[in-house]
Amino acid sequence: MGTGHFFWVIFYFASLCSASLANNAKINFREKEKKVLDQILGAGKYDARIRPSGINGTDGPAVVSVNIFVRSISKIDDVTMEYSVQLTFREQWTDERLKFDDIQGRLKYLTLTEANRVWMPDLFFSNEKEGHFHNIIMPNVYIRIFPNGSVLYSIRISLTLACPMNLKLYPLDRQICSLRMASYGWTTNDLVFLWKEGDPVQVVKNLHLPRFTLEKFLTDYCNSKTNTGEYSCLKVDLLFKREFSYYLIQIYIPCCMLVIVSWVSFWLDQGAVPARVSLGVTTLLTMATQTSGINASLPPVSYTKAIDVWTGVCLTFVFGALLEFALVNYASRSDMHKENMKKKRRDLEQASIDAASDLLDTDSNATFAMKPLVRHPGDPLALEKLRQCEVHMQAPKRPNCCKTWLSKFPTRQCSRSKRIDVISRITFPLVFALFNLVYWSTYLFREEEDETF
């Protein structure tokens, strides 16, 4: 009987132990978060209006580490000089009032979605124009409280930020757009922002921009002093390079083609007035329309841009081709007038000669000295004629290239209009090629110098 009683006692204690272990296995330690939150954030225990203490519980400023993750950059507007960015913004600081027991490592952190439950840094974006939070499906924000009192605040936001641009090298330019974050009310005596060590700024892979390329980004500090104190400030500079291929296809090549088309009038006959006038006016109007369309997509700045130099010179060449035809037309009419005057003068001279010959025919006493038709071999005049024949019978000389090329430029007074056309066929392309050499070498070298800032 004693042995049986002892057996039942052992069986009872074994059942209790197994039940206790089963209950412990079923415990969800996340259910204890409410008790922990009530302990650290309960009424009269935590005041979110008071900032946390400094490092190691000192009375120094609270230190907040910041890092951002750039999710996308939707646009960079040259007219309004702004850009839109979507990012995940994170802040981390230590508040010793929020320490709690992690139950032997079972509670890694506590999660909140209400930012007003704890103290928050009063950070704002100083160059912001517009901004909004994301609330689909739920608000994209969370707060994590770790057992040692460390607080992590993360939120997804979209911002439209100001980006002052220097367009002197447009469209061969690079632009620096900044993202500035500063404290609004707390001075550096109470709050200091620092970039997170290691990798403070991350950018999504395969970031796609329509007309720009993000080359690099730099983090820095931009503390500002006012009459109310010094305020902590962080900034990240984003260096964007403008994609030139779009402007090469849409602007530079069409303008170059219009200039070359305007040179076709140099090869048309000087008498084809309708064809040359219509060609010159059409290319001039097209070039003017192209220029106005380019300027419509840019802000009205007070300085000269690289694209202004290109379109201005191209417009000058097209206008010069039209003026060249006006000069050719004037020279042609002047040549015709002079030719008519010479013809009239020759007619008058011929008429006077005919009148004089009529008078001589009527004079019966007039005598004429007749030259002999046959000369003797020793006659000096016969030797002179023979010498001239020998000169004409010499072998022809090889043509000179320079003289052949110069023969294309008529020198007679009646061919001035033709000579203007021939000179323009060579001068206009050479000057335009020289302009291209100077233009591209100047602005490309300036672009490389700006890259080394």
pLDDT at residue 397, rounded to an integer: 58
Q: Over 50: is that where the pLDDT of 261 sits?
A: yes
pLDDT at residue 25, rounded to an integer: 47
Neighbour-count burial of 163, counting CB atoms closer than 10 A to its CB (0-12 exposed, 13-18 middle, 19+ buried): buried
pLDDT at residue 81, rounded to an integer: 92
pLDDT at residue 383, rounded to an integer: 47
pLDDT at residue 450, rounded to an integer: 57
**Residue with the larger pLDDT of the pair 41 and 308:** 308
Q: Over 70: is that where the pLDDT of 17 sits?
A: no
Q: What is the DSSP string of 56-125?
A: GG-SS-EEEEEEEEEEEEEEEETTTTEEEEEEEEEEEEE-GGG----TTTT---EEES-GGGS----EEE
Q: Over 90: is that where the pLDDT of 83 sits?
A: yes
pLDDT tens sequence across 273-311? 888 888 889 999 999 998 898 888 888 888 999 999 999
pLDDT at residue 402, rounded to an integer: 55
Average pLDDT, integer, range 239-264: 93
pLDDT at residue 368, rounded to an integer: 45
pLDDT tens sequence across 144-159? 999 999 999 999 999 9
pLDDT at residue 85, rounded to an integer: 95
pLDDT at residue 143, rounded to an integer: 93
pTM: 0.72
pLDDT tens sequence across 307-334? 999 999 999 999 999 998 888 888 777 7
Q: Over 80: is that where the pLDDT of 393 sits?
A: no
The alpha carbon torsion through 151, 152, 153, 154 (nearest 10 deg) reads -170
Q: Over 70: is that where the pLDDT of 371 sits?
A: no
**Residue with the larger pLDDT of the pair 346 and 145:** 145
Sign of CA dihedral 295, 301, 302, 308: negative
Mean of all residue pLDDT scores within the chain: 81
pLDDT tens sequence across 46-64? 888 889 988 877 788 999 9
**Residue with the larger pLDDT of the pair 200 and 448:** 200
pLDDT at residue 404, rounded to an integer: 60
pLDDT winner (highest mean) among 113-117, 370-374, 438-442: 438-442
pLDDT at residue 140, rounded to an integer: 92
**Residue with the larger pLDDT of the pair 415 and 201:** 201
Average pLDDT, integer, range 96-112: 85
Q: What is the rounded distance in angstroms from the CA atom of residue 440 to the CA atom of residue 172? A: 10
pLDDT tens sequence across 395-450? 555 666 655 654 555 545 446 778 888 888 999 999 999 999 999 999 988 755 55
Q: Over 80: is that where the pLDDT of 78 sits?
A: yes
pLDDT tens sequence across 121-140? 999 999 999 999 998 888 99
Q: What is the DSSP string of 240-286?
A: EEE-HHHHIIIIIHHHHHHHHHHGGGGGS-TT-HHHHHHHHHHHHHH
pLDDT band at 391 (very low <50, low <70, confident <90, very high): very low
**Residue with the larger pLDDT of the pair 378 and 429:** 429
pLDDT at residue 10, rounded to an integer: 58
Q: What is the rounded distance in angstroms from the CA atom of residue 182 to the CA atom of residue 125? A: 6
For the chain, give the percent of residues with pLDDT over 90: 44
